Chains A and B, each alone.
Chain A
Amino acid sequence: MRPFPLVLAGSLAVSLLFLTVPVAAIFLDTSPAELVRSLGEEGALDALRLSLICSTIALGLIVLFGTPAAWLLATRRFRGRALVITLVELPLVLPPAVAGIGLLAALGPHGVFGGAIGNRLVLTTAGVVCALTFVSAPFYIRQAQAAFESLDRTWLDASRTLGATEARTFARIAIPAAGSGLLAGLALAWGRALGEFGATLMFAGSFRGITQTVPLAIYERFGTDFTGALALSAVLVGVSAALLLSVKLLSGAGWLGGAAR
């Protein structure tokens, strides 16, 4: 065998091993029976429920506001567009601790806009939703914008000449045609929201049943109850994998490939 293909195969083997061993170890370290038992403990199910509810609400908000915003960015050219896009993408590269501080500074009791809403967000479930939305929205908006930009422009033109307003074109042509790209963005954003830790901890705290999502619950346990932390981690791996898989199946071969043609 020639050396270069060997190098390629070797690199993939090393990458795969490094990336899968920690995930596999979560399931191998403890017996399935023990995992299931520790899930029954008080707090574990609460954390799961909270994670699902908060991330779902956050995703709903992101789709509701992010989709039209992404459409605007994809279809209009205006002064300062590049700046707007950069600002929208900024949370992608912010350290979670900075995001948490930022949220406190803006919406906390003594924050810029805190006077009106502060006490209703900080250390509450709504605060969790707020933190998740902040950190994961850019993942969706960026992907949605790319999906809209890669649409065949003549489809949009054709729709207009066939009597459809821009709003109807958006709903009936752009969204279905960019569907796989939008779903891909949704999966990325959801994955980010489920794993969110730093910003949530700083902005909403870690109170069982109120603001303690699964990652926070894992952190709380791992000093005292490693098996419990493993059990919750296993569930998060399962949910994340199922999410990734279902989106891949839903969007077919067009996965991450932008628009369906």
Chain B
Amino acid sequence: MLRVEARARLGALALDVALEVEAGRCLALAGPSGAGKTSILRVAAGLLRPEHGAVACGEEIWLDTARGIDVAPERRGCGYVFQEYALFGHLRAWQNVAYPLTGIPRRARRERAQELLERFGIGALADARPRTLSGGERQRVALARALARGPRALLLDEPLSALDARTRAAAGRELAGVLREAGVPALLVTHDFTEAALLGHEVAVVDGGRIVQRGDAARLAAEPASAFVADFTGAVVLTGVAHPIAGSATQVELDGGGVVTALDRARGPVAVSVYPWEIALAPEHAADPGSTRNHLPVEVVSITTVGNRVRVGLAAPQPLTAELSDAAVRELELQPGSRAIASWKAAATRLLPLSVHQTVSDKPS
């Protein structure tokens, strides 16, 4: 388990956070730029010393300002993937990966580095310099380097934001696999709520140096603690399997049941995203649920008022959130347990490929 507590004044920002992550779990720290997300990672890694704070990983105490303990970054054993990756430009790919491997013969270092690169499918690029690699390849080198010494915790700072949209989906899938395999606590920083929802077991929304709400992604969207969280959560995310259908549309069989239609093209595992304010609710037995193409029978789970808007948490059976006006909620007589039909346009439905193969099979052949 990784535990981080920090209070520090960083320029205009007052950082004040406390969090813990179990081994094998990933906590996504999501929030706008300048919210203090990266500072939390730096405190965990020992690159930033807060005025008051404590960091512990398992039985080891890495920082305790009250007792004057501050373990140097090189002795903490964090696998840190930096934004833009921070690959050493004067070293080859394999030398970057071998950099943390000390105290073993040169030949063994080279072999071990090669193994790690092979695992990420870039063994052929071992002798390449970072500046000649693509964004996706750099990200893999950075991951291989961070994992080389068997880290006790993983810290990932915007690991996907330097990638183009096409690479990002595949890299996200791969990253999820890495996090599963590593079996250590992981903190992942992102400014994108969808990324947080897909990669984190839990999401902590960070704003102004504080964690304003923490929970699983669906709950944050359905029951935001503040207007900020409501705005920040943006789209809700469902997962399913896509099949192209006639008329350049795509049908997605949602995991757990239900079918929705989108105008994006995709095939195979996908994330379906739709904004809560695009979703309308109608009574369960309405004669005409509207002209929209997507209709899902849902059960109301929660009703949360945020300012003049109301967030309605739904089970469909995957969690879904609709954002309605006060008046609409009263008119529909919604309350937890009531049933309804959620509907939204096919055009309002975004598909994000989740599979590595997706990007390949999707290319025109």
Contacts and interface: CB of A to CB of B under 8 A. Distances in A.
Contacts of B283: none
B47 interface: yes
Interface in A103-159: 152, 154-155, 157-159
Interface stretch (B85-93, B341-349, B357-365): B85-93
B89 A154 contact: no
Contact of B47 (A157, A173, A261): A157
Nearest to A175: B90
Given A154-B82, A154-B84, A157-B47, A162 B99 contact: yes
Contact of B90 (A159, A160, A163, A177): A177
Interface string A153-189: 0110111111111000000110011010000000000
A83 B77 CA distance: 38
A260 B89 contact: yes
A138 to B, nearest CB: 27
Given A157-B47, A158-B80, A164 B86 contact: no
A158 B151 CA distance: 14
A242 to B, nearest CB: 26
A163 B89 contact: no
B82 A160 contact: no
A63 B72 CA distance: 28
Q: Among B42, B46, B47, B145, find the residue whose CB has the most chain A CB atoms closer than 10 A.
A: B47
B136 interface: no
A112 B82 CA distance: 53
Nearest to B95: A172
Nearest to B73: A160
A159 B155 CA distance: 14
B89 A177 contact: yes
B74 A160 contact: yes
Contacts of A176: 90
Contacts of B43: none
Given A154-B82, A154-B84, A161 B45 contact: yes
Interface residues of B, dominant DSSP: loop
A36 B75 CA distance: 62
Contacts of B146: 162
B86 A155 contact: yes
Contact of B88 (A163, A177, A179): A177
B270 interface: no
Interface size of B as a range: 20 to 34
B74 A165 contact: yes
B95 to A, nearest CB: 10
A160 B89 contact: no
Given A161-B47, A162-B99, A162-B149, A173 B77 contact: no
B291 interface: no
Given A173-B88, A177-B90, A261-B89, A162 B82 contact: no
A179 B86 CA distance: 18
B72 A162 contact: no
Contacts of B82: 154, 157-158
Contact of B73 (A161, A177, A179): A161
Contacts of A159: 88, 99
A162 B47 contact: no
Nearest to B91: A176
Contacts of A154: 82-84, 86
Given A163-B77, A163-B100, A155 B88 contact: yes
B252 interface: no
A154 B85 CA distance: 9
Interface string B322-348: 000000000000000000000000000
B78 interface: yes
A163 B74 contact: yes
B207 to A, nearest CB: 24
B100 A162 contact: yes
A163 B76 CA distance: 8
A160 B75 CA distance: 9
A139 to B, nearest CB: 24
Interface in B42-59: 42, 45-47
A163 B47 contact: no
Which of B73, B79, B89 has most chain A Cβ within 10 Å? B73
Contacts of A173: 88
B223 to A, nearest CB: 36
Nearest to A259: B89
B102 interface: yes
Interface string B207-220: 00000000000000
Interface of A: 152, 154-155, 157-165, 172-173, 176-177, 179, 260-261
Interface of B: 42, 45-47, 72-80, 82-84, 86, 88-90, 99-100, 102, 131, 145-146, 148-149, 155
**What are the 10 A-B residue pairs with the smallest beta carbon separation, nearest first?**
A162-B100, A160-B73, A154-B86, A158-B86, A161-B80, A176-B90, A163-B100, A163-B74, A154-B82, A157-B47
